[in-house]
Structure 1
Amino acid sequence: MKTRRWFHLVGGLVVSFPLLAGVCAGKLHAAQFSADLIQSMDLMITTGRVYVDDARYRMDLQTPIGPDVVVIVDQTAKMTKVLIPMYKAYIEMPSSDQMSLMNDPFQAAEFMIANYSLEEMGSETIAGYKCTKQLILSKSEYSESQIMNRWVCDKLGFPLKIKMLMQEDTYTELSGIKEEPIGESMFQVPADFEKSTWEAVAMRGEADPDLTAKTEAWQKTRRVKVKLSSLMGPGHEMQVLIREGVEVRVKSEEAFDKPFNLFVIPYKGGKALKESTACTYSAPVSFTLAGEMRPDLIVAGTGEGGEASLEMTFVGQQPVVLATREEYFSTGAKGWTLNDPYERLSIRFTGDLEEGSTVPAALGEFSVSTGPWDKSKTDSFELELADGQVKSFEYTKADNVTELSFMIQTGRVRVQYIVDKRAETTEPRWIIR
């Protein structure tokens, strides 16, 4: 139901940051200060300002979707109030309530301390303040999982940064800190606000055209992620064309039992952004190309005799990723799966007979499976390609291609794959094998 969706939408945006803040509020009593706040939940950005006074704090949050909210937490009274200014409504929750537990920093901290381990990781400076960096992790007899990093400021008695380690791009950080008196009125509910419930707020939100327009505007400008993964055999190469201004994250791992050998060369305007010697790797790497290093083209591949597992993540406003890959095959078979939507898919076979070849043409077969998994159909096409002869296959997202394969019986062919992939979901994933 729409109302239930809105309930989770409003509630989730409200409770997510206070839960983290509560986890990090190791002291009940903090200094008086205010600070700018930014929160990212997998690239969904919420901004605002936090006001701290002893055992109380207030957060004014501007959300990308849903109504803007004010959260007031009193750790001594163990009460949390959530204000929705556009409706002049507020919701009050005791500490025994589930929603209050998610919003109450004291209860959230007690929960984390009771259930997880805490390790000190030295000191770092955040927003000009010295902080103790800590790691919260879950330990068992057989495994260990890192959950969260937090940076707690001893002087202010409050966390200045939190980063979730089990979900990408999910963090909270304070900046622009001002040590100043915080007035009592900041922690009071305005007299003209009426007490309400989550259900009532959700119903009003569903019927609010302003919130619908707000969500639609955010959808048009939001940053999204596209992931491209590839298991690359010896001598493989691929090229990726990227929309201007897109951040690129590169992560690689060893593939099978052959030596790790990988090159990733970023280009912009036809010029390499790095020297070629700095783009060749003999061990797994992880790095980000951002700012002035944001490329419009990446050429990646493996050297002779080497293998690598490569994953590239493209982050930006509606990034368009055009990926091409080229391989040569003499004899053998290959198949791969497309797990997510694409705009255009091209497969091009070119006869490339080796010098001195005694066969007049390369012979083989190409097969493609289309349609939903439960009603999939497979079409096969014979390949007979003289030297230099080309045969192409074009598909759009309406064809719903799920699997591709080919077999070369005699001769040699050059195979080119071109995938035009636009980001239509939060995190689409494209895998080629």
Structure 2
Amino acid sequence: MRGHWRQWPGESEIRKSGEFHLARAALQSDTRPSSRRQIMYINFWYAAERSEKLTAEKPIRVRMLSHEFVLFRDSKGKAHCLSDTCIHRGAALSGGKVMGDCVQCPYHGWQYDGSGRCVSIPSLGPKGRKKVPPRGQVDGYPTEERYGLIFVFLGDLPKEERPPIMPIPEWDKDGWRANTMDYHWNANYERAVENGLDPAHNEFVHPTHGYSGERAEYKVNELRIDHHDHGFEFMHTFQSPPLKNWLMKRIRNYDGPLDAGSGHHGPNGLYTYIHLTPTKWFHQYVWETPVDEHYLHTFLVSMRNCMIPKNKWFLKIADDNMDKRNFAIAEQDRTVIEKLDPVCTPAERSTRELLMPADKVIWLYRERLQQWDDMGWRIDADELKRMRAKRNVVYAIPSPARRESQAWVLDPVPLVEPRPTAQPLRAVGA
């Protein structure tokens, strides 16, 4: 049923290039205040990495929400995530090694267990190395592995109050197959989510869908919107020509109505439903993980209940065709999203864009973001940037353990004060 996780073709070469690292360095060193909405939130689950990339032999470093983290597996294979900064002298724990159920700092050998507690300080000697001071801890974050991904809860909410991971209902159902991939964009994650929700861009950005905006009667029809606890979803019906791809036209080779729609789960979860016929469906689930305000790591699980031949050779052809199609569509989006100006959505929510009725789902998404703003979960990206430049200081995303202990070396990341008087969004004609 499930495919293998695949990386964007050629991405490893791009990421090794000097151009890539210079671009990242320029973005991270830019300390100028910004009037753009640089929105990142604590208290949600984020896809950190593919499960297959984290082995028992060595830890790995990941960057999320403009902070560094270390992932490692304990002796039983369970994945753990900690703040990557050793509280002794600032070394990156991800540069160390796994020792039993702990990660060992490469600088002075301090060992931290999966909860983030330091359990050994070698310089204290054989009799004293276990006598760790109360502040001998780094933030440790809840982790779960689903759908071939390692999810990390980056926040301090207790278990019973945490929003759930976006589910894939079809994952374990017979008659469905998954294609999976991940890739990186030089773009703000919020722009990527809005692109996935946008019902008006397909006809012009994705000629592979067969639309190409060539119809004089083109119009975005009524959106059937349903709200849920963690976001909303919508479906709409439109006239679609026959699909042009040689394999896809075997599924739909006629002109007629087609149902499609999208939804979001939290600030960075996105899903899309494409019902080519009443019984042949494609469902895609996307986690847009913000590396920082300007860069994102996307994880895609593409589910289908058709094009699943029993013959292994034909199945491989179908899988490869889906991978190529998904890569092509993502690349079409990337070429537009990476050039949006401003990079982030405007700070003045109702005056810096001329929204149309088809953009209703965009301002609904932004209204949801405002609700999380008002809960005090939004990272103050401008203050974080200023303080890092002024004090050369390291912050940590607060973990659930901070609700039980006040003994910490690193300060928690600054958050934006709630703004309950924020003005609601309005779309022209909505």
> Is the TM value for this pair above 0.5?
no
How does the TM-score come out when normalised to structure 2? 0.25
Greater share of strand: 1
Which structure: larger Rg? 1
TM-score normalised per structure 1 = 0.25
